[in-house]
């Protein structure tokens, strides 16, 4: 049934950053953190978006091309059509966990953090990185969940001046974590996977790829080193990036 398109209405639009908007819909899905839905804009295209929240279904969409530009123009009461959820979710390990998100890659990590019971969220540290202060999404939301939030910016306009990977490495040298989860640019995730591997820490990454059939695992367009990202991923063990 997940393959059947469902049409929902937008009940709320939140402006997250200059590039990112959150769309809250009048529907729910049975999704696990790390999974995604395929959003279809009739007559234009269909693209994957990570689920931020399953009840009500919330999608966080960064404006990166023609399809997302069009989605950004949608208002309360407008329709959103989607199928899914699809993909393999994160395996959540109990204990102290580190989340490392690059830009809007932080989205699936938010669903992960919010799925952990409130009283255990103080054990979650999240590093969010972006080029500049204006592009840091979800920082306030993670704080509200009760997570420890560390920010990095390339230009030093907020938090640590430098990359998420540098801050993550410092933190992992100092403190003991039972798991690391990362989503963002490939170079960032590869570095996080390498650091975690060297320290023998459980690590999962959410790989971004270009989807065509999106979830069916049939067309081969999203394959990466022989892995079918849309179906066997997007969440993989960090080892696949080593």
Partner 1 sequence: MVDLSVNLAGIKLKNPTILASGILGLDVATLKRIVNGGAGAVTIKSLTSEPRKGHNNPIFIEAAEGAFMNAVGYANKGIDHGIEEFKKWDEKMPLIGSIVAADAKEFAVLAEKIQETPIEALEIVLSCPHTPGYGLLAGQGSPKATFEITKAVRKKTKLPLSVKLSPSIEAIGEVAKAAESAGADIVNMGNTLGPGMRIDINRASPTLAFKIGGMSGPAIKPITIRSVFDLYKAVKIPIIATGGIMTGEDVIEAVMAGATAVGIGTGIYYRGLTVFKKVCREVEDWLKKNKFKDLRSLKGIVHQ
Contact between 211 and partner 1 per CB under 8 A:
yes
- If one asks whether residue 118 binds partner 1 (CB under 8 A), the answer comes out as no
Asked if residue 43 binds partner 1 (CB under 8 A), the reply is: yes
Is residue 178 part of the contact set for partner 1 (CB under 8 A)?
no
Residues 6+ apart with CB under 8 A from 119: none
Position 216 contacts partner 1 (CB under 8 A):
yes
Region from 87-95, 105-113, 177-185, 215-223 binding partner 1, contact rule CB under 8 A:
215-223
The answer to whether 130 and 160 are in contact (CB under 8 A) is no
Report if residue 218 touches partner 1, rule: CB under 8 A. Answer: yes
- What six digits make up the tokens of 92? 């959540």
* Among 74, 18, 29, 83, residue whose Cα is nearest residue 52: 29
Asked if 237 interacts with partner 1 (CB under 8 A), we say: no
- Cβ-count burial 202-241 (b if 16+ within 10 Å, e if not): bbbbbbbbebebbbebeeeebebeeebbbbbbbbbebebb
Q: Is 40 in the site for partner 1 (CB under 8 A)?
A: yes
CB of residue 134 vs partner 1: minimum separation in angstroms? 31
- In the complex, least distance from residue 69 CB atom to partner 1, rounded to whole angstroms: 15
Q: How far is CA 191 from CA 143, 179, 182, 197, 225, in A?
A: 25, 15, 10, 10, 17
Q: Can the peptide bond before residue 85 be classed as cis, meaning omega within 30 degrees of 0?
A: yes
Query: Does residue 79 bind partner 1 (CB under 8 A)?
Result: yes
The answer to whether 44 contacts partner 1 (rule: CB under 8 A) is yes
Number of residues near partner 1 (by CB under 8 A): 28
The helix/strand/coil state of 84 is strand
Task: Using CB under 8 A, list all residues that contact partner 1.
Answer: 3-5, 7, 38, 40, 42-47, 79, 81, 211-214, 216-221, 223, 225-226, 228
């Amino acid at each position: 049934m997940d393959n059947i398109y469902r049409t929902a209405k937008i009940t709320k639009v939140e402006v997250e950053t200059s590039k990112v908007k959150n769309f809250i819909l009048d529907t729910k899905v049975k999704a696990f953190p790390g999974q995604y839905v395929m959003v279809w804009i009739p007559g234009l295209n269909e693209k994957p978006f990570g689920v931020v929240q399953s009840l009500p279904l919330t999608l966080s969409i960064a404006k990166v091309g023609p399809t997302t530009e069009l989605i950004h123009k949608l208002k309360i009461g407008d329709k959103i059509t989607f199928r899914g959820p699809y993909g393999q979710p994160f395996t959540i390990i109990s204990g102290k966990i580190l989340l490392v998100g690059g830009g809007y890659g932080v989205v699936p990590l938010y669903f992960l953090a919010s799925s952990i019971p409130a009283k255990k969220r103080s054990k979650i540290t999240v590093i969010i990185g972006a080029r500049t202060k204006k592009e840091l999404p979800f920082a306030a939301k993670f704080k509200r969940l009760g997570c420890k939030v560390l920010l990095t910016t390339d230009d030093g306009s907020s938090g640590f001046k430098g990359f998420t990977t540098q801050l993550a490495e410092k933190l992992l040298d100092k403190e003991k974590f039972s798991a690391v989860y990362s989503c963002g640019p490939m170079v960032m995730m590869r570095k996080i996977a390498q650091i975690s591997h060297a320290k023998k820490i459980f690590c999962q990454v959410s790989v971004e790829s270009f989807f065509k059939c999106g979830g069916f695992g049939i067309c081969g367009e999203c394959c990466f080193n022989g892995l079918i990202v849309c179906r066997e991923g997007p969440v993989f063990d960090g080892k696949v990036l080593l």
